[in-house]
Amino acid sequence: MTINASKTGISKSSALKFSGPLRNWIVSALPCAPKKLDEPNLIPAAVLVPIVMREEGPQLVLTRRTMTVATHKGQISFPGGHVEPHDEGPVATALREANEEIGLDPQKVEVIGLLDDTWTITRFIITPVVALVDSKAPLMVDPREVDVIIEVPLHELLIPKNHRLCELNHHGEVFTYHRYDIGGHNIWGATAGIIHRFISRLGDIPGPAGPLRGI
C-alpha cells in the first residue's frame, strides 16, 4: 500500500492515463440519475471526488483540514465548500474549491458524473462531483485551509477490513457513520459516507485481467 502525503504539494513528472477498461469501470459506478435533496433549511455545498492515476494504480485525492478552519477542524475530507451565489451549480463549486484549496487547475480535470446528494449533521447538503485528474497536474495546498494532501489507493478502500460502522451521539441523537482506517489515517463522517456509497457501486475488484491489473 502506498499513501502519498504532502504538506506543500504533489507533482509527478510522468503522465499516466486511465486505460479504457479502468475508466469504464469507474464511470459504470456513477448513478444515471443522481438523487437530489431539496431541504431549504440546509446549506448547499459540493465536493470534488478526484481520482488520479499513479504507478500503484488509481488514487483518491483527499485533504486534511487545518485546525484553524471554521468547521470540521483536522478532519480528512474532499476539497469542497459552500455553493456561492456566483457558482453555476455544484460542478462549478467543486472545481473552484479544489482550485482554491489544493491548486488543482480545472483544465486538468475531467468531470465524469455526480453521486447522490448527502446531508450532514452540521446542516449541509453535499453534492459529490467525481472527476479524473491529469497525473501531471501539480497540487499545492492553501495553508489556511489544508494541512496536507493525501492520496489513498482505491483498492485499499475496497478491502472490507479497512471499513467499519461506528456510532456518534450528537446532542442526544445517535447517528451511525462510516469509517476507514488506512495508513494511519482516520477517514470518517460525510467523507467516508461518500466513499462508501461510491465503493459500494464499484463492487468487487475485477480479476487478474481486470482494469486494476497490468496498468
Q: Say yes or no to pLDDT of 214 above 90.
A: no
88 burial level (CB within 10 Å; 0-12, 13-18, 19+): exposed
Instruction: Give CA–CA dist 43/56, Å, rounded.
Output: 37
78 is written with which cell numbers? 474532499
- From 28, 122, 53, select the one nearest 81 (Cα to Cα): 122
Instruction: Give CA–CA dist 135/13, Å, rounded.
Output: 8
pLDDT digits (tens, 9 = 90+) for 71-85: 666 789 999 999 999
Range 108-123 average pLDDT = 91
37 is written with which cell numbers? 435533496
Q: Say yes or no to pLDDT of 1 above 60.
A: no
pLDDT digits (tens, 9 = 90+) for 148-180: 999 999 989 999 999 998 877 766 777 788 999
| Domain architecture of the chain: domains with CATH | 8-159 (3.90.79.10)
Range 186-211 average pLDDT = 76
- The region that residue 214 occupies, defined by phi over 0 for left and psi between -120 and 50 for alpha, beta otherwise, is left
Cβ–Cβ < 8 Å for 177, 164:
no
The per-residue pLDDT for 5 is 53
